[in-house]
Structure 1
Amino acid sequence: MTDEFIIKSLSALEDLQEVQRLEAIVWGMDCVPIHQTITAVKNGGLVLGGYINGQLVGFQYSFPGFKDGRGYLCSHMLAIHPAHQKKGYGRLLKLAQKEEALKKGYDLITWTYDPLESVNANLNIGKLKAVCSTYMEDCYGNMKDTLNEGLSTDRFMVEWNIRQEAKDETPLPDKAIHIVTTGMNDQGFPYIKDYHFETNAEVIAIPIPTDIQQIKKSDLRLAIDWRLKTGELFKALFAKGYVAAGIEREQGENIQNYLLKKQE
């Protein structure tokens, strides 16, 4: 029987200190100052903690954003303890975030993530049905933590319209045009052979590796090649009016595909 995952909204100093300790475990870099998280919580922001048997194993931190006359919730961090990852807890935190954001009057949540991280892509685009049409080059500059060191910090900026019912309108994979040809190198890692810019198709598939971190550890040049080539593709297609709105993911495969469709 799986232990119950209990989610609570956090604002007390000792709870936010515990969040900092978990943040250090997950990312191994400087933590968000508590004076920042406390101020955010008191001014429309949100910190959620996920607990198992009274132990904090996950958290989500967000603060208010404002652009073009519209307020929204900017989701800055979501972390799950390494011992509890890949159990669906991240999705539960995001769904709790949605409910709390609705109570506060928000209708949009935005956040950034590395488009080469397949697990995050599957959660954000595949399961939550957020969408992306914005590619941000080297968003955070040079970062020295384990996850980011060695690659430019390019990011997708996703939008999650939380007042709209999530409908499974992901384009069918057999409708997608594959404009990228991939191969396998001697180490068993996928690589991009070539690609062309087909911009008339209704749906276009763009592949990413399922484990960019393993590639980065073994072959940094190959990881950089994935960053540069996919970055070029995403920027060109977003500029042509496409939006990343679905994921094609098959068990056991070493690549998964973003499904990009023309914006309505």
Structure 2
Amino acid sequence: MSPALVHDAEIGAALAAAAADVVIDTIDAIADLQLLREVMNQVWGPEIVPPRNLLRGMAMAGSGIALARRHGEAVGFSIGLLGWSDGVHFHSHQVGVVEAERGSGVGYALKLAQRAQCLARGVTEMRWTFDPMLASNATFNLVRLGATITSYIPDCYGARTDAFNTGDVTDRVKVLWRLDRPVGAQPLAPDAAGQPLIALVDDGPQVARSFVSAQPGAFIPLPDGYHSLRSEHPAAAASWRTATGAAFADCFESKLSIIGYGPLGYVVGEAL
């Protein structure tokens, strides 16, 4: 691993933490792990907070467990572990930020801290999943960080009752972030002739259905404010999720790829 690359990653992580006004520390002490559990409970609720002994075991093994603090108050966290399926990589299982601090750069700082930690240990790939229905997640992961979608996983985690997923299915896309490349990517627009893979119909608020086959230059649009739509019009939200899942499945079954994200949605490209 190039010392210059590691140094640049560490500088980038430090600058991101400074911009967010946080200090990010890898933790293993019992008191810190308990604080982590309390922050996780604030972010997601008690359903998915792991037991302290499991976190302690992960920390003892050297897994990346970190807290972001501002003036001593914990405002975010990250949890990950080393994996070797399809090559050695770091699986970033969870990054969470308390509600009042979302959009303040804490999540970005946590991701860059993970990147620097990985590169210092010779690991050049990071993977994780995110909900493809959320435009903010797509922008953060694919544009701000520069990760790429590698697969679509229906109901990845099964039924969950937490602050974000109760009553919904946990469809996810899996992404790969190449850590030895520059951070970030440009927002993409589809070709001028590109067709949306989801069409709107008039018998309900933003009800959607798949209607054309995937091809390079096409795009997968998203509804505005999926969580609000799910709360106010659950049937429409369910229709959007079903149609979006079908569009992703069509892309990957056709040996195509998702090459980025932009104002119109996910952009379809040739196989990578």
**Normalising by the residue count of structure 2, what TM-score does the alignment of the two structures yield?**
0.85
What residue number does 1:47 align with?
65
Out of 25, 29, 38, the residue aligned to residue 21 of structure 1 is: 38
Q: How far did 1:174 drift?
A: 4.6
8 A contact 1:180–1:192 mirrored in 2 = no
Out of 188, 191, 196, the residue aligned to residue 207 of structure 2 is: 191
Q: Over the residues paired in the alignment, what is the CA RMSD in angstroms? A: 2.3
* Alpha-carbon distance in structure 2 between the residues aligned to 1:191 and 1:147: 21
What residue number does 2:244 align with?
230
Comparing 33-42 with 229-238, which one deviates more in the overlay? 33-42
* Alpha-carbon distance in structure 2 between the residues aligned to 1:181 and 1:72: 34
Q: Residues 101-144 of structure 1: CA distance to partner in whole angstroms, max 9, x if unpaired?
A: 11122111111111112211111112111111211111111112
Q: How far did 1:218 drift?
A: 0.8
Gaps of 5+ in 2: 1-18
What residue number does 1:253 align with?
none
Alignment coverage as a number of residue pairs: 253
User: Letter of the aligned partner of 1:80 in structure 2?
Assistant: V
8 A contact 1:133–1:242 mirrored in 2 = no
Residue 146 (structure 1) aligned with residue 163 (structure 2): yes
Residue 262 (structure 1) aligned with residue 270 (structure 2): yes
Out of 72, 75, 94, the residue aligned to residue 92 of structure 2 is: 75
Q: Kindly report which structure 2 residues correspond to 1:151-230, keeping only aligned pairs within 5 A, or say none.
A: 151-166=168-183, 168=185, 171-175=188-192, 177-180=194-197, 182-183=199-200, 189-192=205-208, 195-199=211-215, 201=216, 203-230=217-244
User: Letter of the aligned partner of 1:113 in structure 2?
Assistant: F
**Counting strand residues as a fraction of each chain, which structure ranks higher?**
1
- Decide whether aligned partners of structure 1 residues 86 and 186 sit closer, same or farther in structure 2, where only a CA change above 3 A counts: farther
What residue number does 1:252 align with?
none
User: Letter of the aligned partner of 1:83 in structure 2?
Assistant: A
Out of 44, 49, 52, the residue aligned to residue 34 of structure 1 is: 52
Q: State the secondary structure of the residue aligned to 2:158.
A: coil
* Alpha-carbon distance in structure 1 between the residues aligned to 2:69 and 2:206: 37
**Normalising by the residue count of structure 1, what TM-score does the alignment of the two structures yield?**
0.87
What residue number does 2:254 align with?
240
Gaps of 5+ in 1: 250-255
Q: Kindly report which structure 2 residues correspond to 1:87-126, keeping only aligned pairs within 5 A, or say none.
A: 87-126=104-143
* Aligned-pair identity (%): 26
**Counting helix residues as a fraction of each chain, which structure ranks higher?**
2
Q: State the secondary structure of the residue aligned to 2:88.
A: strand
User: Letter of the aligned partner of 1:110 in structure 2?
Assistant: R
User: Letter of the aligned partner of 2:226 in structure 1?
Assistant: I
8 A contact 2:152–2:174 mirrored in 1 = yes
8 A contact 2:142–2:184 mirrored in 1 = no
* Alpha-carbon distance in structure 2 between the residues aligned to 1:176 and 1:16: 52
Q: State the secondary structure of the residue aligned to 2:84.
A: strand
* Alpha-carbon distance in structure 1 between the residues aligned to 2:72 and 2:132: 33
8 A contact 2:190–2:218 mirrored in 1 = no
